[in-house]
Structure 1
Amino acid sequence: MSGTETTNSKISCDLEVQATDSPPLHLPQSVDPSGGVGHTEDDDIESANSEAYPEGGLKAWTVVAGSWFGTFASLGILNSIGTFQAYIQEHQLQSYSPGTVGWVFSLYAFLSFFCGVYFGPIFDKYGPRGLTISGTAMMAGGLLAMSFCTELWQFLLAFGVACGFGTSLLFCPSIAAVGHFFKARRSLATSISSTAGGLGGVIFPLMLSSLFDSIGYAWATRAVALICLCCGSIAVFTIESRLAPAKNARAHPDFRIFRQIDLILITAGIFLFEFSLFIPLGFISSYALHHGFGLDFSYNLVPILNAASIAGRILPGYYADLVGPLNMNVFAVILSVVACFGVWLPAGHTAAGIIAFAVLFGFATGTLIALAPVCVGQVCETQDYGRYYATSFSVVSFACLISIPIGGSIVNANGGDYAGLIILTGVIYAVSGFVLMGAKAYVFGLRNWAAVY
């Protein structure tokens, strides 16, 4: 018997044993835009054998490096919105309520993810170059325009709209391109590139809090714009795709992929934890100021949180390749619940308590942000990764849109007290954990709760 026949016989036997002894598995099925299912379980086996991933090498790690710089210029700004919001709330827009000012940054976060519903399919069809060029120009231009802003509508257009589009244009290909070069080590590679967002969330707030006093808000913001321009330019020349577009690829979103129940549940889980995630990111500095901490201490909580998130991206990213990205995200959700109810709520008014919360929550946040795209990638073929990731996160983007304004309204309704906001954050985190476990139960059944996924 030939080697091929032996392998095929072994696969057949394994599938028969699985069908007899285990509950049925709901394997990923890509949806064909024409209306049918793009491939079957047999196609999955054939695809797994035919797709050869470099899993390393000069070109693959160059793409990861380019992704790192693109993520620094996009997610680095996203992780720094707390510093911008606290400063603008105290100066240019001091006559507006926190809920109203929050719309500037929630609009930015919303567009950062929602626009991917179009940019992801464009990446799958045409590659990353046009996206990264446009994203770099819009990020630098939006920040430059923001340095001149004094009115609410100006901040909405410059930061909310222009930087929101720019972040999405840069971030989407930065994440999707890594998946073209890594499969077995995708969680680790994606986590490495996403550390840039955490590092940017350390460098930019520290830089801004120092420059605000020395050279003023306008030139401090322009300095950030210059850094984003340089990092984005590196991403333009180093990020590339490897796999040819799928036969059914098109440069338009396709929400019919939500026929997959596992994708619906994963997207719902990400939606819930992203809603909760942006509340501490947006309010931790304002919370500290409310409790009487100094300006420098309050602003520095954001870089402390983001520094912890760097470790949260690397270490769980390594273990996610062993135990599964969704399992690691469930662990991060549990840690977030503990941080909210065990530290922030009872002890956040003390210096030790708020620092401990920033470290715990930052670590968990890094894991969730880094591995969420990898969770989505488990339910599709690599050629469809950009489309699936972008479409899923277009739904998640609505959580980013409403979380900060709702949080600000809750604080106002409670007379400036943050207890209700903290409780809401922890409860929604807990619900997201149950939804993610529901996705795993759908795929593997209730008895295989320890399966790698």
Structure 2
Amino acid sequence: MPPNLRPLSDDVPPGNKEQHGSKKAPSPLVSVCTTPIPSPEEQSQNRVDEKSTLDGADPNCGVVYINPDLSLIHDPSLPHEAQPPLEQSLYRPSSGEPPSHDSVHRVPVSRVTTDADGNTYPEGGLEAWLVVLGSFMGLFASLGLINTIGSFQAYLQTNQLKNYSSGSIAWIFGIFAFLTFFGGVQIGPVFDAKGPRLLVLMAPLGNGYGLGTSLIFTPAISAVGHFFNARRGVATGVAATGGSMGGIAFPLILETLFPRLGWAWATRVVALVCLVSLIISCLLIKSRLPKKPASKENVLPDFRIFRDPGFALTTAGIFFIEWGLFIPVSYISTYALAHGASEKLSYQVLAFLNVGSVLGRAIAGFIADYVGRFNALIATVALCLVCNTCLWLPAGSSLPVIIVYCVLFGFASGSNISLTPVCISQLCKIENYGRYYATAYTIVSFGTLTGMPIAGDILSRCNGNYWGLITFTICCYAVGLVCVTSAKLVHVGWRRPWVVY
């Protein structure tokens, strides 16, 4: 008997002793047959659907019990003699009262799902959510730093590199973001073939560089897909909030430490926080589905996957989305400084953006599992376009409008980050997920490399006015919206644009 369960045989009213001897009748919360367990021939005609609820159980099935996974203890496939007796079959939790009848009725017997290729997914459980936590901690350190580049750029532009143009300084962070995503072209196939452990163990040693960050980025996203299918959107969204939480914590840490400790020790403190986060991530992230056999084909990238027009359009859409995304993340702090904000508030506006991003990544993933992942991505990209056009472009020196823009754009752009992985997973088999995801982001990395320097050069050519930079951001999101919408229509057909996908 499981240690957290105990027999229900003591909870039966005295009126039923003629049926059960000294035992009491079972609680109405549990479906129990009063007729004998049927013979094997009868069982074959009265099998219970594994997804039925307790109220829907066949009255001839034998015994149904409640465990934490709401499974059936009577297995019709076993011989009649092998079925456990009633006294050993009926349990309830050893502490507390059993759940109400209504709550039992609403919960399905099994959460396990199966995809078209026969792979099963637990869709939850302690092990699965610990992997999500490991992914959260890994993205806290990797994407959290990327979401903080605006704070680093604002400090350097007013201190060590004040004699350099914005475009020149932006190359520093463009290369950092580029290496983070570009390294995935090899890391994704290695993840598919070898699993995540080798890669994430290397990440703490190299996290000071973009390549080190790439070692954790792809495995952290891909490992979640090994445990979730139907709920992949919400699970990936929860994991992706780690990047937003890092984007909140690191700017506030730097805001406090830069004036007191200076550049060197402030960055060392951030490095220590990243190290602790990555150690936790190393201990928790794992893969579950069978690994591919070691071969040259399984560890090298394969660009033939771009022959799929849906995947090619999705990658193009993500390219333009990320091309535009890093411009506000990089320049919102300097924009606030240039429009009358204090240095303290210039760090805080980036934190406001990441607060919105936390909500966007979690909520959008949950909604995407119901309305369709591409549908949710299209809606959030459209919201980014509206925010840049209707809020940032006319904001000027209005600090309240800037703050509202940061929260709303953070919500929409954070949704983009959590939805692009699950959209890519919808286009491939799960065993190829790492390869597809890393290959797509290898192309996207060139957008992150060039987007910030291009925006900086536009800013210089506009004599420090931000309207040109903002217009470039708007154009990026407009093209990205067209691409992801076209990618969906390639798969569902041009005559069914509103279908859930």
| TM-score category of the 2 structures, normalised to the smaller one | 0.7 to 0.9
Gaps of 5+ in 1: 4-45, 143-161
The equivalent position to 1:171 in structure 2, one of 208, 214, 217, is 217
Identity of aligned pairs, percent?
Answer: 48
Q: Distance in 1 between matches of 2:475 and 2:397?
A: 20
Confirm or deny: 8 A CA contact 2:117 2:429 kept in the other structure: no
Q: Which residue of 2 aligns with 1:384?
A: 432
The equivalent position to 1:352 in structure 2, one of 397, 400, 409, is 400
Q: Distance in 1 between matches of 2:117 and 2:433?
A: 18
The aligned runs of 1:197-212 (5 Å cut-off) are 197-212=243-258
Q: Relative to 1, partners in 2 of residues 1:97 and 1:49: Cα closer, same or farther, differing over 3 Å?
A: closer
Greater relative contact order (Cα < 8 A, sep 6+): 1
Kindly indicate whether residue 291 of structure 2 is the aligned counterpart of residue 223 of structure 1. Answer: no
Q: Distance in 2 between matches of 1:368 and 1:228?
A: 24
Gaps of 5+ in 2: 1-43, 46-113
Kindly indicate whether residue 201 of structure 2 is the aligned counterpart of residue 122 of structure 1. Answer: no
Q: Which residue of 1 aligns with 2:413?
A: 365
The equivalent position to 2:239 in structure 1, one of 193, 198, 209, is 193
The equivalent position to 1:85 in structure 2, one of 153, 156, 161, is 153
Q: Compute the displacement of 1:343 (Å).
A: 0.8
Q: Which residue of 1 aligns with 2:491?
A: 443
Q: Which residue of 2 aligns with 1:268?
A: 316
Kindly indicate whether residue 492 of structure 2 is the aligned counterpart of residue 416 of structure 1. Answer: no
Kindly indicate whether residue 310 of structure 2 is the aligned counterpart of residue 242 of structure 1. Answer: no
Q: Relative to 1, partners in 2 of residues 1:49 and 1:267: Cα closer, same or farther, differing over 3 Å?
A: closer
Kindly indicate whether residue 200 of structure 2 is the aligned counterpart of residue 136 of structure 1. Answer: no
Confirm or deny: 8 A CA contact 1:246 1:384 kept in the other structure: no
Q: Distance in 2 between matches of 1:136 and 1:193?
A: 19
Q: Distance in 1 between matches of 2:117 and 2:195?
A: 24
Q: Compute the displacement of 1:48 (Å).
A: 1.7
- The alignment's C-alpha RMSD in Å is 1.7
Structure-1-length-normalised TM-score: 0.84
Letter in 2 for 1:191: G
Q: Compute the displacement of 1:50 (Å).
A: 1.8
The aligned runs of 1:276-425 (5 Å cut-off) are 276-425=324-473
Kindly indicate whether residue 173 of structure 2 is the aligned counterpart of residue 105 of structure 1. Answer: yes
Confirm or deny: 8 A CA contact 1:348 1:357 kept in the other structure: no
Q: Which residue of 2 aligns with 1:146?
A: none
Q: Distance in 2 between matches of 1:348 and 1:318?
A: 35
Q: Relative to 1, partners in 2 of residues 1:406 and 1:441: Cα closer, same or farther, differing over 3 Å?
A: same
Q: Compute the displacement of 1:348 (Å).
A: 3.8
Kindly report structure 1 stretches of 4+ aligned residues shifted beyond 6 Å: none
Q: Compute the displacement of 1:90 (Å).
A: 1.2
Q: Distance in 2 between matches of 1:49 and 1:279?
A: 40
Q: Which has the larger radius of gyration?
A: 2
Q: Compute the displacement of 1:47 (Å).
A: 5.8
Q: Distance in 1 between matches of 2:451 and 2:309?
A: 25
Aligned length: 390
Q: Distance in 2 between matches of 1:75 and 1:47?
A: 30
Q: Distance in 2 between matches of 1:234 and 1:306?
A: 22
